Homo-oligomer: A and B are copies of this chain.
Amino acid sequence: MLARKIADSTVRRLAIYLRFLEEFEHQGAGTVSSEALAARAGTTSAQVRKDLSFFGSFGKRGLGYDVHALAVQLRTILGLTRRYHVILVGAGRLAGALVQYAEFGARGFDIVAAVDRDPAKIGTRWGDLVIGNVADLEKIVQREQIEIAILVAPADAAQALVDRLVSAGVSAILNFAPVQLHVPHGMDVKNVNLAVELETLSYALQHRGST
């Protein structure tokens, strides 16, 4: 119950700490300070200690955190001790880029299916992946035991696709379509809007003169 109330921003920081811990591990470091983690993650050491203490992990004063033990703990918290089957709903250019995104596989997210409504795309291949017909969405979700869908479909098609994904038993959706999706309670949706990311920069540029 507690765990579900943790803010999205905290979970994102945990994921970032894990990346640096793995890098430190790779370099042979046995321990790491909250200051070093903070510097790499662009936050404060107080925030690092707060984030980690929330999960019951405490560094030793003067010694810091055990790199390996903390990495194991974060992987467990983040649900990264197993693999997930992922479907790409939409097979446009962004989907084509995501298929090649090596970090997904490295983190346990296997893109095992892709579908589109365009007859010119259906049946074509991206490496081992054959693009399926969106008409077969439910069948593919069940056959491939899909848990996570990445929605890279046009805005006008998004909600209907989500309704079908929910019915088919998909548990979580990463949504790139620029619309607010309506989903039943208990379904997890994460929206990615790349224009919003650019707007955090235009905001910063706009207010630079005032500092």
Query: Is A197 in contact with chain B by the CB < 8 A criterion?
Result: yes
Residue of B nearest to A194 (CB): B101
Q: Quote the shortest CB–CB distance from A38 to chain B (angstroms).
A: 11
A186 interface residue per 8 A CB criterion: yes
Asked whether A178 lies within 8 Å of B210 as measured between CB atoms, the reply is no
Any B CB within 8 A of the CB of A198? yes
Contact residues on A (Cβ < 8 Å of other chain), bracket: 35 or more
Q: Is A66 an interface residue (CB 8 A)?
A: no
Given A201-B190, A204-B188, decide whether A97 and B93 contact each other with a Cβ distance below 8 A: yes
Min CB distance, A6 to chain B, in Å? 8
In this complex, the member of A4, A11, A200 whose beta carbon has the largest number of chain B beta carbons within 10 angstroms is A200
Tell me if A174 counts as interface (CB < 8 A to partner B): yes
Is there a chain B Cβ closer than 8 Å to A172's Cβ?
Answer: yes
Q: Could you tell me which A residues sit within 8 Å of B by CB distance?
A: 1, 3-4, 8-9, 11-12, 14-16, 19-20, 40-42, 77-80, 84, 86, 92-94, 96-98, 100-101, 103-104, 106-109, 147-148, 171-174, 178, 180, 186, 188, 190, 192-208, 210-211
